[in-house]
A and B are shown apart, each in its own frame.
Chain A
């Protein structure tokens, strides 16, 4: 038993050496053959890694803005078109709700000195909003409660606005005209701007002002877009019910007055959609693997034909059929694995480049690597099987006679 294991391992070692020398001996052909597998594996890896990175950064931005929040879009009823400041205070009193942030959007003409720009996205926010988004501010002060209460004309501006209107000037304390009204700049936003869900959806606003001021400018006394931040221990599932109850009460139990968006369910939907897309794309890419496998099979069949004499000779020298089969199987396996390894490397490189270009996260997916390796190994064995079997079945006499 031990002896046969030893002799089998001696044989396998020699097969690997022999196969490598054959692969090296046919460099150009081996390279072309391997190319199919390489492209297939690279495509699968790049797709999976890129989609993973994308969904990773998506879910991290979702969780930064969405975890523990519920977003309400209020369409209102005939009697009550939105939520008043009083309603917001009411909602804040709910046990499930830590605080709320209204969002009042304007598209304004902004000017200073001789410069002006139109359709600048301005968003009205409250003081609580800044407590929840601490990383938003670069410098200066935030909008506070007294700004809300007295509807002051103060604003916080994005780096773009600084660049456009305050070249070479420190903007803080300076004034900026929004729809003709002078606002005092009190703070500057970071480059990333507003990463909240409402910010995401409206495109990051360039200017933030007190929401009460924004309501006055819009000539309305209600808000229609509100994000509720949940209190500790509450999830979007558990908090929805008391929130709905309170809102129903406010709208006198009329139907379709508001809609509550649950971030986590949206995230789930998007993630599962992304996964489906990625599976589909990977499926398409794996067609390349099959084509690569056929390439390997073709090369192996040619090799078997070319090396008929060698096979016959080896049989004459005492090689038994499984030894011949093993040798050819190892050769196709090695070809395929070499292609697979190069494909994994290329795929990772591609997805690194893609992630840099798209600004998404790059994360090496062990799953993708295992899949690529497993796939190429399987292709090598599967498509090498038939040629190897053919070789092992060759009659030694016919094989030797073909000289």
Chain B
């Protein structure tokens, strides 16, 4: 594994550009994005809607590829990966947390957490054990057999966080993780993020909400497709 790490970079984006064809016109969504993150960092990307932050998140999450530029994640160059390689990389390196928790409605909390492990080829016993552990970690040990519809929004989001942790990913990637929650449960989720970061998890959180962004230890702003280093929390 060590040999694969080039330049020792954990996460590095260099001159990332993304164009979208919008009818006749070409929209320049991301403009020469440079971003480097150390292992164990907690970064938030702050930007209004239409700023290109979703596109950036998709590229970070290996759901989309940049038009030009270089992206290295955990020592692996993502630029020329095939669809299958990207999928495997997503499974191994990245844990997604979406705005709406995006749980599968017909599965229990436990089974939802097990999902990524199925694709990773982990056997049922081990899956159960790890899912229980993770649900315990997010404080839902008494809700394992509940269906998503029987859980509150905050609980659903915590299940989604447990699911994101299931593959023991290098990077937790959250897109407006509190967007669908009220303030109180939103704060609980933010506390959980902090704890996870304290445990050494690297987190990137994308948000339009400055108060939420302030939970991170480092904030960058994205405006009109350009990334501006926002400095530390205190500066933001």
Contacts and interface: CB of A to CB of B under 8 A. Distances in A.
Contacts of A21: 106
A190 interface: no
Interface in A386-403: 396-397, 400, 403
B91 A317 contact: yes
B106 A323 contact: no
Contact of A317 (B116, B121, B122): B116
Contacts, number: 73
B106 A318 contact: no
Interface string A15-29: 000000110010000
B87 interface: yes
A320 B106 CA distance: 21
Interface residues of A, number: 28
Contacts of B88: 318, 320
Nearest to A320: B87
B116 A318 contact: yes
Contacts of A310: 104
Contact of B121 (A6, A22, A313): A6
Given A397-B58, A397-B63, A317 B90 contact: yes
A125 interface: no
Contact of A318 (B102, B120, B123, B124): B120
A310 B104 CA distance: 7
A392 B167 CA distance: 22
A315 B83 CA distance: 10
Contact of B90 (A315, A322, A400): A315
A22 B107 CA distance: 11
10 contacts: A7-B120, A313-B98, A316-B90, A317-B115, A317-B119, A318-B87, A318-B92, A319-B87, A320-B119, A397-B58
Interface of B: 58, 61, 63-64, 83-84, 87-88, 90-92, 96, 98, 100, 102, 104, 106, 115-116, 118-124, 163, 167
Interface of A: 3-4, 6-8, 10-11, 14, 21-22, 25, 309-310, 313-323, 396-397, 400, 403
